[in-house]
Structure 1
Amino acid sequence: MKTNKFFGAVAAVSAMYILIPNQSAHAHGWAEFPEARQSICYEQGGLWSGTPPNAACAQAKAISGTYPFIQRNEFAINIPAPTYNDMEVVKAAIPDGSLCYANDAQKSGMGAEHSQWTRTELPTGTFEYVFNATAPHNPSFWQFYLTKPGVDVSKPLKWDDLELIQEYGNVAVDADKKYRMDIAIPADRSGDAILFTRWQRDDTVGEGFYNCSDITISGDSPVDPEPSEPYLEQGDAFIPADISLNTPQLGESVNYKVFSDNGDIHSSFSLEITADNQLDWDRLLASQVNGYYETQYSGNVFIGRWHAEMNHYMYFRNELHNNFFNASNGQAYGEFSITANNEFVEAVITPTVLKEITNASVTHGEYVVLTPASSKGDIEQISWVQVAGLPIETAIGQNDELIINTVLLENVAQEVSFELTVSGQGEEDKTVYSFTITPTDVEPGPSPEPLPGEQWSASAVYNGGEKVMHNNQEWTAQWWTQGEEPGTTGEWGVWR
């Protein structure tokens, strides 16, 4: 049996219920205007509880997982001084097709062929380019490239597709950690294009940052709001001292669980070791933890350590035993393990409140439905158990979904956690989902009169809120369903 796997449908969920300022931790930075494609995908969501709404972002996630979005600030490669001044060396280090992900194989989905990248409209002429430098680097220099007329921007970007349109030397960073420069779009350009940014540190290490901003030359767009950074308490090392990069073998899983201050499990993450990530698995596993807690819980857990000069938390690549569990509650902790990987079954929880939950929080009085429908494999048995929070009465639906009526709990801020176990073909897999319940003092008013629905069909798929007629009575689906007959699902059932 392995530890819980982490999937986009939210297999590993929740943090401890810890309140800290709404802050987030990053390294380095990304193009803010026009926004880099990895940042747009990150902001559009769908990383932890489903599929990104943009088709290109969804494809990138399918290829590379959530890592490119979580690491939107570090599309970078090191080209040691002085060779980063030789463009032939740069082109060899970042070959054609890999420009939009700086030749980092773990982010290759960001450079895959697709025509649906979200674009920022820009006019011809001069505009103010903004780079969000979560960690400013000076001295440094800048180069800006624009795709040539006629280039098919849906294809992986090549150096010959680009022409240099602007250069800057060592630009001072603003007090708000923004680099701002005037960039001129040639007057003869129109239509879809890619603005390619190179920000090169002028030092011995030679770290350079490369961003692709998808644009349409015709209009303008606003600048996103400014971010900030958190401060956390450092705990134990992320990876135990007796574990090396070569310890986990191909086909095994590296796992990490996060526990609250009272010892309750709140999230679990897992990564299968493959030939592609065998020497890079630690940062990928850390990125799952960091990305989930950043997007769902304001960054109150971070794997890495504080960088005093850069004034933020970051994961230190190639320092396996020098990254730590950090949390806003110093009594919380993490646990690393290595297990055999399941071949046949994978547990996945999809949380819904008539629609999919996206921020691990619901309002008191709502029904929560945890469905195992996205679990994979030939599932023979499914079971649920509450593992944290005040005990609450639950019910099991006809499709093994767990139904939770939060009105049965006291109307106060609290958090509850449930564990799903699936088994089949001699294997067992577990995963945990935790969510907070926000109190309300407002009594719900009467519902509006329902609109007439169509006749119920056993073969049709119905989503939460949809209405049907069956046996001369109107029924409303409480969540996703198919094949469950209205009038047979009971008081807690899907049809009411």
Structure 2
Amino acid sequence: MKANKNILKVAVGMAMLSGLPTAANAHGWSEFPSARQNTCYEQGGVWSGNPPNAACAQAKEISGTYPFVQRNEYAKNITDYNNMAAVKAAIPDGTLCYANDPQKKGMGAPHTAWTRTELNTGTFEFVFNATAPHNPSFWEFYLTKPGVDLSKALAWGDLDLIQTEGNIPVSGGKYRMNVTIPSDRSGDAILFVRWQRDDAAGEGFYNCSDITIVGGETPPPEPTPEPDLVKGDLYIPVNFAGLDLGDTVKYDIINKYGEVARSFDIVVDGSNANDWERLLASEINGWHAEFKDGAVFIGDWHEEMSHYMYFQNDPSRNFFNSKDGSASGVISVIDGDDGNVEPLTGDIYELVKSDNVVNAGDKVVIATSEAANLTQTQGSVVSIQNNGTASIVVDTSAITQNETLSFVANAINSERAETFTFEVIAEDSGVDPDPTPDPDPTPDPDGDAWDVAKTYLGGEIVTYDAQNWKAQWWIQGGDNPKAVYQKDQWGVWRPAN
């Protein structure tokens, strides 16, 4: 199937205008079990006097207060982040607990007195405090091997990968996951957590949590879990054709009646060309885990870990698995390039850390090589200046809460267009990127009623069927908000109270 590919490949750039603040709030830490830098921060003594814990005191002596002030940004940008050799080169042995940031070196210095969190073998709820949530992203959990000398600085060879998770939704500013400590582990250990963003910059966060493992009351479940899904065909067929940038990969879930139960898709671009398979599988698995009790999973059963997982480095292990053996998955490609459109070049302005995050009040510049009109499609309404030129300015002064803004740029002299997105952090808004608006239990009868003919932007609230509904992105027409929500709880209309 051919799609109209008059797509403007806009080189979208963003920059803070002179005189404006450039620091963006970031990004979080392991809350339970507590990351090393967070434990030292909460114990006090980091700004005056000495920390009560000897290991924290040593860290302060080596690095000063910076590791504690920056407890939410133990991070490293690695563009080739799916290549573990590149990750290990960027964060070499001995630097893992501070993500190879020389200013935080004290947090990785060898010491035996780090305060430890006691954990039982079996499953516990891991909690990550996200001061600025980032999705899509994925997680890796490592545990020190039995017998590792914890009096030395942590090295990659000291660790076993015990669990991976895909794109986990944030709730109330927290990421929560069930993590399993193997039953054959005991004593002091380090839980090393990697939270990796799926973005062009490759920003990843690395936290060390010092723990003590005991037997306790949460042994691995008995009997040992067994596969409960029926294995179908390979997720990516052996003869699957090569892709070009701009192509859309579509994956249909076909039910036992031969009907399309749900479709998922991803546009292949420069940021995901080498990882679109995992990203698409993560979306499929995440949706079915959230709404269908895991009725479908892309991947395979892992005998040693006793659960299903996606095998990123071994495509031959990834299958369509379903509770209904007569269901199936069908992959297809929508050709996104007719070969006649030249990319529109332009100057690229980089944000701080290149992570597309700005502070409320910053001005963001979109620079293209020909004039374009900019239309906002998601988020609270902001001011767009110099529209219709090749240098458009977005003023975020009106933003009062953490949220994501999306826009479409349409070239004036052609049919080319491009969508782009960035996050805005409001300093006093707390950690939730999409807080619930002030609810009114009784919708205002004089408020704006939903109008099928009206265009709504993300964040706007309407009344329908005696209930308030909030638009998640740009929408015009279609089914009423209640019907949309009943069909898909992740759709454009969701309850506002």
TM-score with structure 2 length normalisation? Answer: 0.39
TM-score with structure 1 length normalisation? Answer: 0.40
